[in-house]
Amino acid sequence: MNFNYSEEQTLLKDSVSKFIHNDYDYETRKKHCAMDGGFDAATWQTFAELGWLCVPFSEEDGGIGGGALETMIMMEEFGKGLVVEPYVSTVLVAGAVLAKAGSAEQKAEILSGIIDGSRKLALAAVEPQSRFDLFDVTTQAAAEGDGYVLSGRKTMVMHGAAADTFIVSARTSGASRDQDGVSLFLVPADSAGLELQDYPTLDGHRAAELTLNGVKLPASSRVGDQGAAVAVLEAVADEASVALCAEAVGMMEKLYRETVEYSKNRKQFGVPISVFQALQHRMVDMFTLYEECKSLLLRAVMSHQAGAADFRKNVSALKYAVAVKGQKAAHEAVQIFGGMGMTDEMSVGMYLKRINVINTLFGNGDYHLKRFMSL
């Protein structure tokens, strides 16, 4: 038994880590957030050139066949840098849907575009009433001639405004909370009848609300089997949850290290505040929270690699733990930074906000604790 990275994995970690360290400090990140679309197109192209956009795709799809471990390695580093480029939405979510369920033609056309950095997609699967149930879909896809007409509303589409194409979940049959009857469709962003409202989220990322007013689509726009999308969506959500938790774990590592550093330099009552035992114990707690989440992260990743039956249970354990422990660690960091933790000048507050958003994406702590109990 060992938890060591292979040579290739070490290289990948070093390459992402070096990039974050040299080219992606917090000031740079702020500039990216302020750019058109909320991220830096040139940085995205750099990701493509460095080969990062192809990591999770199979060799036949043009990737390198990286697994959950490679994704974890990258996302931990992205977390430390608070990367805002749409890696999760385009590569790990939309890309994964296509890789799992897309036809050969769809994959050939779109995945190559994702990998070379020319195309961005976003999954539109959440609705105002659905909360975390991906099967709770009211958006309708009515058959019309050879194709479909889509009508409904989608919310919290990550980096929606940057997408040239959406993957939209819609009902081809059944009632709003049926497991069966949900299908996926490729919807070009410039479709007639599609209205997009773009907005910033607290973590400096962007999201969009979509309204579909009778959007006409050809039969070839459907992704995967008709009515069978829920299994695909849930599989993608589980993998993306692990990736987002890796991002959070990267942030938790950074949080405890930065808090320790700050406490050694911040002087009150004539001494560094790091000498106060009450604060020392709390920083030990932050370290412990990080190590626990890291262990659950590795557990989920290893069970995915092994195709183990308890993967979903491990995902829920991880997502619940990150929701509670990640938020706790971020609260402690803000408290120990004091007033400085309340400012946007320091990154700690941004880690707190990003951790809160991650907690909500694909199910919050309560949702996953319930799912854990049911599995």
* Residue type at 291 in one-letter notation: E
Question: Cβ neighbours of residue 229 under 8 Å, at least 6 residues apart?
Answer: 101, 169, 182, 183, 184, 223
Q: How many residues does the chain have?
A: 375
d(CA 341, CA 344): 8
d(CA 216, CA 218): 7
Q: How far is the CB of 159 from another protein (least distance, A)?
A: 13
Q: How far is the CB of 21 from another protein (least distance, A)?
A: 24
Kindly tell me which of 65 and 338 has the beta carbon lying closer to another protein: 338
Q: How far is the CB of 270 from another protein (least distance, A)?
A: 8
Residue 167 · residue 160 · CB < 8 Å: no
Kindly tell me which of 102 and 326 has the beta carbon lying closer to another protein: 326
Which element (helix H / strand E) includes 143? strand 140-144
Q: How far is the CB of 43 from another protein (least distance, A)?
A: 22
Tokens of 90: 């385009």
Please choose, from the candidates 174, 165, 300, 169, the residue with its C-alpha nearest in 3D space to the C-alpha of residue 233: 169
Q: How far is the CB of 336 from another protein (least distance, A)?
A: 9
Q: How far is the CB of 174 from another protein (least distance, A)?
A: 14
Burial code (b: 16+ CB inside 10 Å, e: under 16) for 82-101 equals: bbbbbbbbbbbbbbbbbbeb
Kindly tell me which of 13 and 30 has the beta carbon lying closer to another protein: 30
For residue 218, the tally of other CB atoms under 10 A from its CB is 12
Tokens of 80: 């430390």
Q: How far is the CB of 353 from another protein (least distance, A)?
A: 7
Point out which residues bind another protein (CB under 8 A).
Answer: 126, 128-133, 136, 155-156, 161, 177, 195-203, 207-209, 267-270, 276, 278-279, 327, 331, 334-335, 338-339, 341-345, 349-350, 352-353, 356-357, 360, 364-366, 369-370
d(CA 368, CA 375): 10
Q: How far is the CB of 284 from another protein (least distance, A)?
A: 15
Kindly tell me which of 99 and 157 has the beta carbon lying closer to another protein: 157
Tokens of 117: 């950095």
Kindly tell me which of 21 and 264 has the beta carbon lying closer to another protein: 264
Kindly tell me which of 86 and 349 has the beta carbon lying closer to another protein: 349
Kindly tell me which of 29 and 294 has the beta carbon lying closer to another protein: 29
Residue 116 · residue 61 · CB < 8 Å: no
d(CA 368, CA 355): 16
Kindly tell me which of 23 and 344 has the beta carbon lying closer to another protein: 344
